Structure 1
């Protein structure tokens, strides 16, 4: 199951907003005092967008309350996780007070009582939401392997910024908004070269990763670190007239999205917060 999720991390997407842009940080991470009477080891550490991180607990069978208790024990050491595995990464440039957390359990099934608890927006201490995913695989009559997933998640935590943005008649989360604006800017001829685009959308709007980079650099960083920091699917890449193909950053959160929006508005792009 772990290998399957490493190769298909998008399955860990929990919604189409703050938990939509998911990337794997690492697997099998040691955690001192992670269990009540011993050290622990978390199965996966993942990231959503720029500033939300998730502890993933994998189980081969049906998820139950013992697994939830284990996840809660791990979450008490979230500051240790941050200091050991997140803060040293120069691409993130985050402080502990900047980040939010989510607990994710993954199994082949889930008990009825636990499903009901999570559907009712259960939260761990400090308003940390919990999600559950079930994954089942079967072989069809055509001998092909099929995977069925079910996501159980309701986030009522006040820790998260749920803002969506209206742009050109569509609604976007933070990362997809930036991608849409840069795409429109390129298509309209607002910048025809890599240098011009950097001048129009400088790196400091985002932070250490930058608003965008070349496709080659984005793929190299992904291969070298295993961290997906840019949109790298073929339909997400943008080709400039000078021949460069660019990849836009996925790393957007409450700490930097307003910088980008204010700048884009100054260039004439009309972006509004979704009215709720």
Structure 2
């Protein structure tokens, strides 16, 4: 199996991010700029962008079984004090959907570099 490791940059935010950290930084920056509540933010970053896990969840809603699917060690605190976490389960297809949606919201995402590795199983 061939696995690609592409890094991304978001203009004005940060350079050289992995797929899951890219999503986290975009959501974090967007939430700080817009000061939206969780319910509104969840409509902006709707679950279908990611798939089965959803893009964001309240930290308090994550059970032990699902902790490994979210960046629970780096929660985002919203203006009302709600702590949210961003999903870390991103593959090329759902990431492409997320990036397209982020661009519609005015986020400038660039591909920085690609590294392919061969995984033998």
TM > 0.5 fold call: yes
1:174 correspondence with 2:16: no
- Structure-2-length-normalised TM-score: 0.84
Deviations 1:124-179 (A, max 9, x none): xxx5xxxxxxxxxxxxxxxxxxxxxxxxxxxxxxx112211121341111000000
Q: Aligned residue for 2:3?
A: 160
Q: Where does 1:45-194 land on structure 2 (aligned, <5 Å)?
A: 127=1, 159-168=2-11, 169-188=14-33, 190-194=34-38
The match for 1:232 among 72, 81, 90 is 72
Q: How many residues align?
A: 112
Q: Aligned residue for 2:59?
A: 215
Could you say what the CA RMSD is over the residues aligned between the two structures, in angstroms? Answer: 1.6
- Structure-1-length-normalised TM-score: 0.39
Question: Matched residue of 2:16: which SS?
Answer: strand
Structure 2 unaligned residues grouped into runs of 5+:
115-121
Q: Please identify runs of 4+ aligned residues in structure 1 that moved more than 4 A.
A: none
CA shift at 1:256, angstroms?
Answer: 0.8
Deviations 1:205-235 (A, max 9, x none): 00010001000112x2xx2x265110111xx
Larger Rg, first or second structure (1 or 2): 1
Question: Matched residue of 1:198: which SS?
Answer: helix
CA shift at 1:242, angstroms?
Answer: 2.8
